[in-house]
Amino acid sequence: MLENAYLIPIYPLLAFVIIIFATRWKEKLSSAISIAAILVAVIHSIFVMIAVIGRHGVPFELSVPFIEHPLISLETGIFIDPLTAVMLLVVTIVSGCVQIYSLGYMHGDPRWSRYFSYLSLFTFSMLGLVVANNFFMIFIFWELVGLTSYLLIGFWFEKDSASDAGKKAFITTRIGDLGFIIGILLLATYAGTLNYQEVFTKVADGAVPVGVLTMIGIFIFCGAVGKSAQFPLHVWLPDAMEGPTPVSALIHAATMVAAGVYLVARSMTLFVGSAEAAMTVAVIGLITSFMAASIALVQNDIKRVLAYSTVSQLGYMIMALGLYGFDVAKDPHSHSVGYFAGTFHLMTHAFFKALLFLGAGSVIHAVHTNDIQEMGGLSKKMKITSLTFFIASLSIAGIFPLSGFWSKDEIVAATLGHPVFMFFTLLIAFITAFYMFRLCFLTFTGKPRNQERFDHAHESPKTMTMPLMFLAFLSVFAGWVGMPWLSHGFSSFVYTGELQHHGPNYIVMLVSTIVAVSGIGLAYTVYFKKKISADVLMEKFKPLYTLLLNKYYFDEIYDKVIIKPLLAFTRMMWWSDANIIDGLVNFVGWFTIKWADAKMLFDKYIIDGAVNGAGTVCMAASWLFKYVQNGSVQFYTLVVITSAVGVIIYKVTPEGFVYYFIGVVVVALARFLMKMNRPEEGNVETEPEG
């Protein structure tokens, strides 16, 4: 079954193609095809899991070339190791549950077939991401996951908030992907390959300098920050709740957001090679986890509480992985359980968080609101929903012996040796238990706060409750594979380094249980027994409350600091394009025309003027000279004598010459004018030469 494991993503892809091209108009058939495909994928994944267990950790790889190059050959292929096998199971199972659940939830939606086709396309992308055998392929599917998420968040695109949220999710995650692709380019340049195993072997051999490795690690982690909604790119996930609730369960709780964690786990060798990169990962994980958990405390939208809870839990996993990388980087023989904890929690969280979302969906389906302040007492009407929701909440809070207990325990154990991390991890565990039970109590217990909504509420149909029950089963038992007493449990199964067995750490178990129980207890006193008034608390911590209610103002800050200035800058660019660059072009055109005009004037008055002027001057001169050349000897003699006299006078007294000259001119003019009146006589005296 391993040899053809590449079929696992193909099943849902086929379903997508069939629905789009053939059965779009037959709604029931479309959903049946989609679900059938995912069930086949589940079965195939189970076989793959069995086969992988049989291989004792030896990975399986199969690939064909995609683009061949002298420098680098990009290939397409599958890589299956225990981590992949686990992810395959998680993705297919959750996707199957969600699709069956959607039969009830999406009942009557006009774009039913399209919805299922998108779900299939998403499942294909996610499975492709999981089985990819190199960084090039994982990036391709990574982006496809982003696309389908965009389509599904904006599925009800008539709602502006929904299409806004889709766009925000796509663009925000793409900012992270920018880092991812730079990391990939770095890898391609320094390692010369993108194949996982080849890359990891080269890195382990020290072929890549540590400084570069740190950069690669951090850049690749950027991708995870985007997809797994880590600080500071977490802002898209709460908004993504505008999508249909089953979509939130599938994409924004169990699978897509887990992709980032998967990526970090997959590239663990890179982080093990660079303590700095690993520490960055851990710190970002911790910040995210704490920040999101604190925001979840005060939210009133049932899905948003869960969304922040998801962000917080993902931060947990990321932190555990980062700490593992750090510990191993410092000491290759370290006994850190971080890697196991992160991947283990990834699995258990997928089940109980999917269950929480689907439960929330069931509630929303019944009361048609997301606001928990308008709910209350619903456990009376929705037995299965409330029961399963409580189970999931206990699991996430980490109560023995549910799944969440085992995995959260390991996360706490992973922080051993890092007191600050440990303190916050426990604090977050406490907050988590508190806000989850705040949610439970407000929703399901007490008196209905909105009678009308309560009256209309009813338990959801079988198609919705069955998946809930199945997931509840997993939320209880799935974690048992990782019980510390098992010598061949999850921990040794997914282990990357040398196989080792971790014994149970009872102190950690005890402390984390105390923390969880006290969190639940506090929620119980405030929201169930109402011994302490929530409103009083709210008043008391007013500034903190406002800060949390506004989610630390991230959206506002981004809007003011990035989006608004960017748009303003963009408008400026456009203005400059039209007025400066194009203005210059138009100026050149204008100038050419004006210059041509000027040339025309020049032509007309100066050049033409000169040409014409030459003619005029000649005419005038000849007109004048015809009087001089009149053939009268007396006149010539007169001119000669007058001139000779003039020369003599000039020699003797130049001043006298002036008077003489004026005199001659006056006489000549007088004569000339007289001649003009009698032109036929033709005797003219003219100016003598000086």
Partner 1 sequence: MEDRILTLVTFFPLIGAVLLMFVPKERDDSVKSIALIIAFITFLFSLMMYSMFDPVANGMQFEVNIPWISTFGISYHLGIDGISLLLIMLTTLLSVIVMISSWNSVKSGVKGYFISMLMLETGMLGVFVSLDLFLFYVFWEAMLIPMYFIIGVWGGPRKIYAAIKFVLFTMFGSLLMLVALLYLMFMYHSFAGEYSFNMIELYKMPIPLGAQTYIFLAFALAFAIKVPIWPFHTWLPDAHVQAPTAGSVILAGVLLKMGTYGFIRICLPMFPEATLQFVPLISILSLIGIIYGALVAMVQRDIKSLVAYSSVSHLGFVMLGMMALNVQGLEGSVLQMINHGISTGALFLIVGMIYERRHTRMISDFGGLAKSMPVFSTFFMIASLSSIGLPLTNGFVGEFLILLGVYKANPVYAIIAATGVILAACYMLWMLQRVIFGKITNPENEKLKDLDLREKIILIPLVILIFWIGIYPKPFLERIEPAVKNIVSIVNSSRTASEARMSKGYKCVGDRCDTHTVSIGGN
CB of 262 to partner 1, least distance (A): 17
CB of 65 to partner 1, least distance (A): 8
Beta strands in 360-458 (DSSP E): none
Q: How far apart are CA 119 and CA 88, in angstroms?
A: 16
DSSP assignment of 306-331 equals HHHHHHHHHHHHHHHHHHHHHHHHH-
DSSP assignment of 225-256 equals HHHTT-TTSTTHHHHGGGS-HHHHHIIIIISH
CB of 582 to partner 1, least distance (A): 4
CB of 528 to partner 1, least distance (A): 42
Non-local CB neighbours of 6 within 8 Å, separated by 6+ positions: 62, 77, 78, 131
CB of 607 to partner 1, least distance (A): 26
SS3 content of the chain, % helix, strand, coil (to 5): 75, 5, 20
Non-local CB neighbours of 294 within 8 Å, separated by 6+ positions: 431, 548
CB of 566 to partner 1, least distance (A): 8
For 39-53, give one letter per residue: b (16+ CB within 10 A) or e.
bbbbebbbebbebbe
CB of 149 to partner 1, least distance (A): 12
182 versus 549: smaller Cβ distance to partner 1 = 182
182 versus 469: smaller Cβ distance to partner 1 = 182
154 versus 315: smaller Cβ distance to partner 1 = 154
143 versus 410: smaller Cβ distance to partner 1 = 143
178 versus 536: smaller Cβ distance to partner 1 = 178
Nearest to 118 by CA among 147, 90, 139: 147
**Cα angle: 97, vertex 102, 108; to 5 degrees:** 165
Q: How far apart are CA 130 and CA 557, in angstroms?
A: 35
208 versus 356: smaller Cβ distance to partner 1 = 208
Q: How far apart are CA 420 and CA 328, in angstroms?
A: 19
- Identify any residues that bridge with 75 across adjacent strands, giving them in sequence order: 65
CB of 311 to partner 1, least distance (A): 22
CB of 182 to partner 1, least distance (A): 6
Query: Contact residues for partner 1 (CB under 8 A)?
Result: 66-72, 136, 139-144, 147, 150, 154, 157-158, 160, 163-164, 166-167, 170-171, 174-175, 178, 181-182, 185-186, 188-189, 566-567, 569-571, 573-574, 577, 581-582, 585, 589
132 versus 668: smaller Cβ distance to partner 1 = 132
Nearest to 462 by CA among 115, 113, 109, 103: 103
CB of 38 to partner 1, least distance (A): 21
CB of 626 to partner 1, least distance (A): 54
CB of 27 to partner 1, least distance (A): 15
Q: Does the bond joining 401 to the residue before it have cis omega, within 30 degrees of 0?
A: yes
Q: How far apart are CA 635 and CA 671, in angstroms?
A: 12
Within 13 Å of residue 166, how many CA atoms lie on the same side as its CB? 20
- Both tokens assigned to 145: 């996951």
Q: How far apart are CA 135 and CA 74, in angstroms?
A: 9
**3-state SS string for 446-489:** CCCCCHHHHHHCCCCCHHHHHHHHHHHHHHHHHHHHHCCCCCCC
| AA letter at 361 | G
Nearest to 254 by CA among 64, 136, 89: 89
| Torsion sign over Cα 479, 480, 481, 485 | positive
573 versus 628: smaller Cβ distance to partner 1 = 573
270 versus 319: smaller Cβ distance to partner 1 = 270
71 versus 596: smaller Cβ distance to partner 1 = 71
174 versus 502: smaller Cβ distance to partner 1 = 174
187 versus 272: smaller Cβ distance to partner 1 = 187
